[in-house]
Structure 1
Amino acid sequence: MYTAATNSGFRIVVSIIASGTDSVDLATCCARGIAVGNTPHCNVTTVTEHVLALYFATRRSIVQTNMLTRAGDWPTKGSQQATMDGPDNKAPRTCHDELVGIIGYGAIGKNIESTARLLGMKTAVAGRKGAQAPEGRVAFETVIHESSVLVVCLPRSPETLNLISEVEFNQMKPYALLINVSRGGIVDEGALLSSLRQGKIAGAGTDVYSQEPAAPSNNILLTSDTADLNLVTTPHVAWYSEETFDNYNRACRSNVAGFVTKGEPEYRVC
């Protein structure tokens, strides 16, 4: 937070070191004349790479095969290839066979799309749930049903809570993967866990949780009885890289400089 003196007295600016604004009461800030700026697009590259890491980890069952190899299952139980099979009993797909459905088409969604295409994947960008898809997008329900990889990367809002729930999981392909790098609460965790256990989808990777910090004591995805599932969990670190910090510092300085020189932050949201 930065305070500056102006002709009309002291004014305050809040610069959020993130693109999301759910940590700040925007309505109260606006009502009190407090300027708010965020730092958008700073973690686009890093989050995209984390999505790919979660994709390969789940499609190739990396965590499961690592655990089994370290436990000595290979020499005692033979080939571990079946561990990598999906609920459809087929071997893992490769990038050229994947259709990546993207839910959320901001800077991160756009970068995921272009990167996925470089890997030979096909892509489909979802329209809004329950609405006709605009030109260039695909109906939400079609993306849910047809995608082999579903990437969730949109902001949390009242409209997006439980956006992906039991209805959506029931429509997904049995070889589909869900990758969630958005915010906790957008994917119904109970429905996700049930779908994994019942073999409705092949696997999931998530970096976000309904309650954070997440632990086995407060999150059903992290309890010991989920260890055998093709579920890769990371502690909200998709954004974390040296490049992101450099970008955050630059954007925050721009917000303060804009407030001092022009009376509003460079990346104003309120």
Structure 2
Amino acid sequence: MAELSTVQPPESVFDGVVVPAAVETVARGRPLRPVWQNALGGLTYEISDVNARFFVKFAPSDSGLPLRQEAERLAWASEYTPVPRVVGTGEDESGFWMISEALPGRSAVDAIWRKNPEKAVKAIAYGLRQLHEALPVDGCPFDWGVEHRLAISPRDLSEADEIHRDIPIDVAWARATDPPPVDRLVVCHGDACSPNTLLDDDGEWSGHVDMAALGTADRWADLAVASWALNWNYGDGWEPLFFATYGIESDPGRIAYYRLLWDLGP
């Protein structure tokens, strides 16, 4: 993974968003398209080349975004499963950036798949099963288990789903600190929400993105959130198909626990 250190041009504005000077430098005059801006100021751009496409993610220095953490996890996971291959990283006083090769496919929440949710749900479940089967637990240097997550939790439900928002925090914390036994330890995605699965033009799973939280945990840590996110993106009623495609029976107790842990953050 190359560390990029460059003399940067002034910032410019593109489609109403200020393009960081570091991103301009990485683009080197190639076509640049803004793709995403999150609530913490993180930016993602697509760079088009003659022979390839790349994405550059930029995390401002004061954002707290775990972009360096994501680069480390992608570099490890790319040996085993389809994820973006990191080709460069860099850092200066303005922030940290990561350049990765584009994977084939579109997000599972692209308009074409919102119109065909059955295909999307099957691909999400199949892809998550493939991820869990492919990534080696014994060789994984990253942790996303309950103890780790509780240790860094902000213990805040103010932005939680409505099913958790009114639970007194001491009650929620008591539940969170009494986890169910581990069903099966796997390397989890860590943010298995629908947008982070990619589908090819035939609706087949083609890879995963946004893996800053990847680490070993009970597979239900992923399954509970991935199935929950279907409701947000495609409407109610898709969870049975998800679990059937993954090949597992729904487990209401573990689902409830890991959804609460998710809302307690991070």
Q: Say which structure is richer in strand.
A: 2
What's the TM-score, normalizing by structure 1? Answer: 0.26
